[in-house]
Amino acid sequence: MPAAVDGLLLALREHGTLRFEDVIQPAIEYAEGFPMSEFLSSIIASRAEAIRQMPGGTRLFLPDGAVPRPGEVFRQIDLARTLRAMVASEKAAAKKGRAAGIDAVRDFFYRGPIASAIGAASEQAGGLLRASDLAAYHARLEPSESVTYRGWEVHKVGFWSQGPVMLQTLNLLEGYHLKGMGPGSADYIHTVVEAMKLAFADRDRYYGDPDFVKVPAEALLSKAYADKRRALIDREHASLEIRPGDPADLGIAPGGQAAARGVTPPPAPPDRTPLGTTCINIVDAQGNLWSATPSGAWLPSVIAGDTGIPLSQRMQAFSLAQGHANLLAPGKLPRYTLTQKLARRLGERPTLAFSTPGLDVQDQTLLEVFLNIAEFGMTLQEAVEAPRFDSLHLEETFDQHRVAPGRLRIEGRVSPEVIAELGRRGHIIEVLGGWSHASAPTIVSIDRKTGVLSAAADPRRDRYAFAY
């Protein structure tokens, strides 16, 4: 379901001050043309054959049948026309006020000609989406999930995403003196990874659309549950077992997958560097924070007729295993990997906003960045540049939902002695390039006492921090 438009319009209507026309104008200008980058050109080239097989793909991404070269002006004329039509619908309702104008844009998209075009394109391509589905959809505001951690309060989106994984991990790590271990030490990396394994096991057992499954949210995020689960972490040995818990009695759930010590796990999943997700984190002059992770329109995508709109592929996140909390069902939301974050010192308004692309590693990266700040006192830029690691000891959200017990990816800037010690403890190590981790967060902050605004951007990918 194309839900991002309604979510953004709802945020603008309820918490913004500008009109739709004001905020969409830069997007219209980009749609009308921008210089093709080397990065995007290389992505299109690597996916050219698949793009040609997707309805509308050649017309949009391969004008004149060729891959756009770096420096060429790339135009999305259909999308620009769609966005201008949405602006016109707002202007037609302008006399009724700002909110009415935004509502008119929403109706134009979800109940008007755009919905009709999307439904027709889906049907023609053999898809299931129809205009009536869009007409029945409406975004809603929901409370965040949160935990406290050493004087901080950390907020994430709910259990229809993987966001609470980080919250569960923080509860587990609160029982350790991480600062004393030191950043980048074998003890630190081992402890964090083993805690993440337990949280991801719960994700893969319990997380799903709360409108369809009963998620034991309160128990999963309780300190008492973390206290029981923490006892499973062996300080000297990496676990090769998939061990979801039992929130009902704060114990260990039966029936978890296991890989005995000495058994070689399956090969690592192929590298799927995320190329269709970005992250936006903003703090404004009034001290408001915004965190978002736009995603879903990956290459190749089905283009919805002449709208210029690429349709999302996130239904592949569903599981087809009977009894799975994330089992495919009509009207159900697939469990998202996208996971924004706000944090604040207890008793204050939120002071940090950050997010990242990176599929299943998103919450792992955001956890590491947060700990770099909260435990080790790093600046924002130091926190995002520090060497990173991530575990594949989880059920992969996309593709074949593979599991690679014990597998740990770690950037080569970590010392060889630390990597060797982690291997001795049983982690199955894959050493990456020094700056080659797939995630790439941005982060913004506001000092509530001085009013100073700060921002940082990860140099691993096309990320920017700027002020105006």
Q: Could you list the active site residues?
A: 277
366 close to 354: Cβ distance less than 8 angstroms? yes
Length of the chain equals 468
| E strand map for 218-268 | 245-246, 251-252
* Encoded tokens for 54: 């997707």
44 close to 38: Cβ distance less than 8 angstroms? no
Element (H, E) at 343: strand 341-345
Distance from C-alpha of 233 to C-alpha of 6, rounded to nearest angstrom? 43
Which neighbouring-strand residues pair with 354?
341, 443
* Encoded tokens for 305: 């007729």
Give the DSSP per-residue string, 135-147.
HH------PPEEE
Distance from C-alpha of 229 to C-alpha of 173, rounded to nearest angstrom? 11
Element (H, E) at 453: strand 453-457
Give the DSSP per-residue string, 50-109.
HHHHSTTHHHHHSGGGSPPPTTSEE--HHHHHHHHHHHHHHHHTGGG-HHHHHHHHHHHH
